[in-house]
Chain A
């Protein structure tokens, strides 16, 4: 049972344009969401997070949007840069019961072309 899904295995955008990565979840108990990016041969690096009490969180070029009724979140990267090319994972947790346990999506390979 895949509780967190990233339906797009890959995304290609031009440098300077917006990248939008999407994530859907099925477990309504999830109340904290994170985005990580991963380069080959490295561990995932934290990007940005959002609590279920918010619908938007912004940090520099990165903005995460949460739509609880649709059980959907998205990561916007503006403007996209070639160094953003990596695999992006969304993750979710149930803070009251699951401790630090994160449930991850399958990842989306983002390629930013110069």
Chain B
């Protein structure tokens, strides 16, 4: 069974640009969550999608958005990039309920110059 796939693995952008990251969950998993990992803040929850609906949202500005498609694939978008958005963005998928284990992808490393 294929794991969680994130594309691209690495990305370099400049301030003010926007970026879209993609995540394909494990087959059969309907919940997709996104996390940001930085050296100073650790792993922080961005949002979770389930059946194409945002079920939960973390404390990030509105520049961070996401969506989920009918096949459970998810994208997250960051508009008007800032230097502080440089981070590892991780996607995780789980079956459905809150007590299901989340399985993570390898992440997308975003560098904002």
Q: Do chains A and B interact in one complex?
A: yes
Chain A residues near B (Cβ < 8 Å): 32, 34, 36, 41-46, 49, 51, 89, 91, 93, 95-96, 98-107
A99-B48, A99-B50, A101-B56 known; A43+B98 contact, CB < 8 A? no
Number of A-B pairs whose CB atoms are under 8 Å?
Answer: 72
CB contacts (< 8 Å) of B105 on chain A: these are 43
Q: Which of B43, B106, B107 contacts A104 (CB 8 A)?
A: B43
Chain B residues near A (Cβ < 8 Å): 4, 6, 31, 33, 35, 42-45, 48, 50, 55-56, 58, 90, 92, 94, 97-107
Contact between chains at B104 and A43 (CB < 8 Å): yes
Of the A-B pairs whose beta carbons lie under 8 Å apart in the complex, a sample of 16, sorted by A's number, is A32-B98, A34-B102, A43-B4, A43-B92, A43-B104, A43-B105, A43-B106, A44-B90, A51-B99, A91-B43, A93-B98, A100-B100, A101-B48, A102-B92, A103-B45, A104-B35
Q: A93-B98, A104-B35, A105-B42 are in contact. List 10 more A-B contacts (CB 8 A).
A: A41-B106, A43-B6, A46-B101, A51-B99, A95-B97, A98-B56, A99-B48, A100-B100, A101-B45, A102-B92
